[in-house]
A = this chain, B = another copy of it.
Amino acid sequence: MQALRVALLGYGTVGRAVYELLTHQADELTERIGAPLEVVGVAVHRADVPRPELRPELITTDANSLVSRPDVDIVVELVGGVEPTRTWLTTALKSGKSVVTANKALLAAEGAALHDAAHAGNADLYFEAAVAGAIPVLRPLRESLLGDQVFRVLGIVNGTTNYILSKMDETGASFKECLAEATELGYAEADPTADVEGYDAAAKTAILGSLAFHSRVSLDQVHREGISNITAEDFAAARRLGRTIKLLSIAERTDKGIGVRVHPAMIPRTHPLASVNGAFNAIYVEARAAGQLMFYGPGAGGNPTASAVLGDLVAVARNRRNGGRAAGESTYAALRVHPMGETTTRYYIKLEVIDKPGVLAKVATAHADNNVSIATLEQEGLGADAMLNVVTHAATDAQLNATVSALRGLDAVRDVLSVMRVEI
């Protein structure tokens, strides 16, 4: 049996875990593939770090040369970032090497270029690890649900923000306090912007939306809001409504095309996504025939991510053994991605109002003028401290936004204290 030759780009936590699994399970993997996997090169940033488990001749700092070697069958990319990975992977794919990557940023920004290169080189491009770590969700969307029509994907796909929001819900502490704890425990990075402001989740949403709806969705089309403005009062309000707050990654098919968005939202405590706590991830899928499915598990970490990478590696290795490749990108539906303003959603709005007659009428009129109807209106406190909690019925985000602007302009409204979407 001729070995399949693997080049590994990147040797951080995930790369090391992949190498360890490849070595530790070599016999099992050989049985499962029908041929051994052989690592023929490992591209690293710095060659002078001690890596006693790697034979020195495997190590190179020249990834360009490694991906161009004619004897490499499969390239596994675990470096991250858009460049130079895009160059490396398009080179590899165009020359017929299959690629396994966990690089969500690259796929969300340059997915089209990568898929085109895979098509040109008749090579496989697999990326299960790019979304929700070890949770098998891309393969089900790409394959298991192909006889069905997905109409909505709702995900908790960022462990850092889910850890923070779970803590805020549980303890009543502020965002800042919970972020500090997440940082201390290693759940948040020193610069948490990519997680906390929703950039990471937005990249994953673009990938999920593309697969679920057989269309191309790119990162810049995903509406994105983070969680740094969420307050303990927001959680208290959610609790009064029987809800909690999650950072949702939403990709949905509507009569206007595809909506893709990442933002915090109040969801019912009884929904399966509400009990996804801590750094766990979950993807909830609604399909026409299948109904409601949920996939749950660890969304990050060296070993879980390596498990997803290895699953893909076995798949592309089997395809090569059989002389074929899997069905590539599917974009036949070519649905339009509609802007956030056209999205149908509901708002929770908290207002600080003045203590005078007629306030309610003015607030109600501001809604009616924008074709937004009010589902519930609750007055909290009395006199000078009076606050109004409004939950709207469904309307477009543009109408709801216009309503909030109108409310801000009312003399009767001292301040708009909180605006949050209500989903499910």
Show the binding face of A for B, using Cβ within 8 Å.
17, 21, 25, 28-29, 31-32, 34, 128, 134-136, 139-140, 143-149, 214, 272, 275, 287-298, 301, 303-304, 306-315, 318, 322-324, 327, 330, 332-333
Contact = CB atoms under 8 A, between A and B. Distances in A.
A172 B315 CA distance: 48
> Most chain-B CB neighbours within 10 Å: which of A32, A148, A333?
A148
30 contacts: A21-B148, A25-B147, A28-B149, A31-B332, A31-B333, A32-B214, A32-B332, A134-B148, A136-B136, A136-B139, A136-B144, A145-B307, A147-B310, A148-B310, A272-B275, A272-B296, A287-B307, A288-B303, A289-B306, A290-B297, A290-B307, A290-B308, A291-B297, A292-B297, A292-B298, A293-B296, A294-B296, A296-B296, A318-B327, A324-B324
A313 B146 CA distance: 9
A304 B290 contact: yes
Contacts of A303: 288-291
B140 A309 contact: no
A147 B308 CA distance: 8
Nearest to A136: B144
> Most chain-B CB neighbours within 10 Å: which of A31, A289, A312?
A289
Given A318-B327, A324-B324, 18 more contacts: A17-B289, A31-B333, A128-B144, A134-B293, A136-B136, A136-B144, A144-B311, A145-B311, A147-B310, A148-B307, A148-B310, A272-B296, A287-B307, A288-B303, A289-B303, A291-B298, A294-B297, A323-B324
A289 B134 contact: yes
Contacts of A308: 144, 290
Nearest to A145: B311
Contact of A147 (B148, B309, B324): B309
Contacts of A295: 293-296
Nearest to A20: B289
Nearest to A148: B307
B25 A149 contact: yes
Contacts of A327: 34, 318
A323 B322 CA distance: 10
A338 to B, nearest CB: 20
